[in-house]
Amino acid sequence: MDSLWHASVIVLVLVFIGGSDANPAARRHGQLDVNHKKQPLQTSRPYNIAHRGSNGEIPEETAAAYLRAIEEGADFIETDILASEDGHLICFHDVTLENTTDIASRTEFAGRKRTYEVEGVNMTGWFTVDFTLRELKSLRVKQRFSFRDQQYNGKYNILTFDEFILIALHADRVVGIYPEIKNPIFINQQVKWSGGKKFEDKFVETLLKYGYKGKYMSEDWLKKPLFIQSFAPTSLIYISNITNAPKLLLIDDTTVPTQDTNQVRSASYYEITSNGYLAFIRKHVIGIGPWKDTIVPPENDHLGPATDLVARAHALNLQVHPYTFRNENSYLHFNFHQDPYAEYEYWLREIGVDALFTDFTGSLHKYQEWTAPHQNKEKKCKGPPA
């Protein structure tokens, strides 16, 4: 990466000194007309969603990973939102800290391991909900996978939700954000906010503070594009009553229980991909985000027959944004002959999805730039307002 890009990282760090979630100055940034005369979001082809930033190159959910993704052409930058012990919203994927930070080597935190039940399973580790924002900010992030570049380990810290939003708002073109309400059941059990507010309330409050609002493709939405995602149907239904911003229901392997607490037993994702459930949930969401192997189940690491999930979703005017696309051979089914561009070709042209979550934003952008003249001018499925 060139010196200009490194300079951009430094500038963002300086901006964040006065713009953290704990700093009232962050609210002033939300009033800036940051999208004035910017290149608008492209809407003529499927969206390129930078999954936790360009995390195939740089440790996930860091300022550098998001800046790199924007540089590489991402339409949206994606993040996972959790909470600290003192109620600040942070960008972090796991409820425990050890997989992507240096906490295991921090002797001052050696006695802070805990065991909690998370989604019906007992987990032991260092949990975000047991640390203040100040303590979390002292940690340094590392690459999740050993087969990826390790040179950036220890260089970056954990971002707040506010800091993540500022990265998008201060980009030199319109860049959307795609935050996930992560583990809402667990967070609401462990973190309490004043006035009886819930995790979902604080999540939406932050978005509204920066002017993120409006139905899909509305004037407000195009100025500050946003998709809200969650594996928990109840969270999406709850926030549909407090924001009209577009939402997507994430779908895991069909055998996995959902995070729905309003049922005597949790439904499986198999049940919530039924026509009846999709017809119900479309009142609250404009699309679904399935694991890609749920759409096309593999057989011995080869593609099996595609399900009709995409066709059924499109018939209900629901968008389909599958996850996660990765360049490494271990993630590519043999049909693609170790070629990530062949995988993009299959999913965008044959399966016909509306967006892709990718760890390698630059690869997807290059593919789309090469094939753009052959793309339809209008998106295949824009979905209903939500």
User: Can you give the pLDDT at residue 207?
Assistant: 98
User: Can you give the pLDDT at residue 36?
Assistant: 64
User: Can you give the pLDDT at residue 347?
Assistant: 98
Contacts of 47 (CB under 8 A, 6+ apart): 75, 76, 176, 321, 354, 355, 356
Site of tokens 């009142």: 283
CA–CA dist 213, 245 (Å, integer):
5
CA–CA dist 151, 143 (Å, integer):
9
Looking at the DSSP assignment, which residues form a beta bridge with residue 290? 251
Mean pLDDT by 10 residues, the chain (386 residues): 45 44 39 69 97 98 98 98 98 98 98 95 97 98 98 98 98 98 97 97 98 98 98 95 97 78 56 92 97 96 97 98 97 97 97 98 97 52 44
User: Can you give the pLDDT at residue 118?
Assistant: 93
Site of tokens 């002033």: 28
User: Can you give the pLDDT at residue 260?
Assistant: 64
> 216: buried, middle or exposed (CB in 10 Å: 19+, 13-18, 0-12)?
buried
User: Can you give the pLDDT at residue 258?
Assistant: 74
CA–CA dist 310, 33 (Å, integer):
38
Q: Which helix (H) or strand (E) holds 368?
A: helix 361-371
Contacts of 218 (CB under 8 A, 6+ apart): 385
DSSP output for 236-281: HHHHTTT--S-EEEEE--TTSB----SSSSPPBTTGGGSHHHHHHH
Residue 309's φ and ψ, nearest 5 degrees, are -60, -45
CA–CA dist 269, 264 (Å, integer):
16
Q: Are the CB atoms for 317 and 302 separated by under 8 Å?
A: no
Rounded to the nearest 10°, the torsion over CA 192, 196, 202, 208 is -170
CA–CA dist 105, 114 (Å, integer):
16
* Spans of all domains in the chain: 47-370
CATH for 47-370, among 3.20.20.190, 3.40.190.150, 3.30.470.10, 1.10.10.1800?
A: 3.20.20.190
User: Can you give the pLDDT at residue 267?
Assistant: 67
User: Can you give the pLDDT at residue 76?
Assistant: 98
